[in-house]
């Protein structure tokens, strides 16, 4: 594995290896392998972030490296310098890059022109680091994903939903995308995935039936702010509240990648009742991403 650009590009075995190494790293956080000694990494973000930024900054330091945060708007990239030129400059000075931006192609281009390990920290298409952390969380809580049924509710065509779709296709667990017609994954995308483990429904009660995990994300992803009003109106029936939870399997896990908008995709009470799990998910970003970095710099150790 040279880069982590998407879950689409990983094999099931690579995903399993990352989750399994993350479990080991979490157990022994104080003895993190110093695989980044002498290395300088950069975080280049053109979208906001709390969890991803903090977990990468902490993780890189725990692995012995040094890290700089570059806001996309503060560097020349924000004034129109091409990504390929930015990549060629950085490739001569730093050892690895973590990028959060809009177009998936920008991350791919950066990886190809910089020649250094590059990690997708969220694009419009995918959020691979989030789902790796979520798989670690499922492993801790219910022993993994084998034979499990996960339901993603809300904007079924967003980056987080798409990475779940790839995870299901690669790992073989059942995934239900519960979303109104306007927010279902694009047909061309589903054709590319071509997996029989994934179903799509526009009926919330049907979506949650028999699921081991109910998962949601914000209704208005970064970059979609202009559509906020319409999205909130259309997605209203997809809120995880007690009524919907009552239709799911008793004891189903409620997961959220955060940030959470109470009263929109989840109610205050459902979020708070599941806060331990949801903030475990947030913490697991750190462990999962450290595992990703170890795989990138060290191979499958």
Would you please indicate which residues are annotated as catalytic (active-site) residues? Answer: 100, 127, 130, 217, 257, 285
The sheet that has 253-256: what strands, in order across it? 198-201, 174-178, 149-153, 213-216, 253-256
Q: 72 to each of 11, 196, 223, 260, how far by Cα in Å?
A: 31, 39, 15, 24
Please identify the residue of the shown chain whose CB is closest to the bound ligand CP.
52
Min dist CB 121 to ligand NVA, Å, is 10
Q: Which is nearer to ligand CP, 153 or 204 (CB)?
A: 153
218 is in the binding site of which of ligand NVA, ligand CP, none (Cβ under 5 to 8 A by kind)?
ligand NVA
Residue 50 interacts, among ligand CP, ligand NVA, none and using kind-specific CB cut-offs from 5 to 8 Å, with ligand CP
Three-state SS at 46: coil
Contact residues: ligand NVA, CB under 6 A: 122, 127, 158-160, 217-218, 221-222, 257
Number of CB atoms found within 10 A of residue 211's CB: 23
Query: Minimum distance between the CB of residue 217 and ligand NVA, rounded to whole angstroms?
Result: 5
Residue 11, Cβ density class (10 Å: 0-12 exposed, 13-18 middle, ≥19 buried): exposed
Give the closest residue to 198 by CA, choosing from 246, 155, 162: 162
For ligand CP, the binding residues (CB under 6 A) are: 49-52, 122, 130, 257-259
In the complex, the smallest distance separating the C-beta of residue 52 from ligand NVA, rounded to whole angstroms, is 7
User: Between residues 65 and 178, which has the closer beta carbon with respect to ligand NVA?
Assistant: 178
């Amino acid at each position: 594995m040279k880069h982590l650009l998407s879950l689409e590009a990983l094999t099931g075995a690579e995903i399993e290896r990352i989750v399994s190494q993350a479990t080991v790293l979490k157990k022994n956080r104080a003895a993190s392998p110093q695989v980044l000694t002498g290395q300088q990494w950069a975080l280049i973000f053109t979208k906001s972030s709390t969890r991803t930024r903090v977990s990468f900054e902490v993780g890189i330091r725990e692995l012995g490296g040094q890290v700089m945060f570059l806001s996309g708007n503060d560097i020349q990239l924000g004034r129109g310098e091409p990504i390929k030129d930015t990549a060629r400059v950085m490739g001569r000075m730093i050892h690895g890059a973590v990028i959060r931006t809009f177009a998936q192609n920008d991350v791919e281009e950066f990886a190809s022109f910089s020649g250094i390990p590059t990690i997708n920290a969220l694009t419009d298409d995918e959020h691979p680091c989030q789902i790796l952390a979520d798989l670690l969380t499922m492993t801790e809580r219910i022993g993994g994903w084998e034979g499990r049924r996960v339901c993603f509710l809300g904007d079924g065509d967003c980056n987080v939903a798409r990475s779940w779709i790839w995870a299901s296709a690669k790992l073989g667990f059942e995934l239900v995308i519960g979303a109104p017609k306007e927010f279902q994954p694009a047909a061309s995308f589903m054709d590319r995935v071509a997996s029989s483990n994934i179903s799509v429904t526009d009926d919330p009660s049907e979506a949650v039936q028999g699921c081991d995990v109910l998962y949601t994300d914000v209704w208005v992803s970064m970059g979609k702010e202009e559509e906020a009003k319409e999205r909130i109106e259309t997605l209203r029936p997809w809120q995880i509240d007690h009524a919907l939870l009552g239709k799911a399997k008793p004891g189903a896990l409620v997961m959220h990648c955060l940030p959470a908008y109470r009263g929109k995709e989840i109610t205050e009470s459902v979020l708070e009742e599941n806060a331990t799990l949801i903030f475990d998910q947030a913490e697991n970003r750190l462990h999962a991403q450290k595992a990703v970095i170890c795989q990138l710099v060290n191979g499958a150790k």
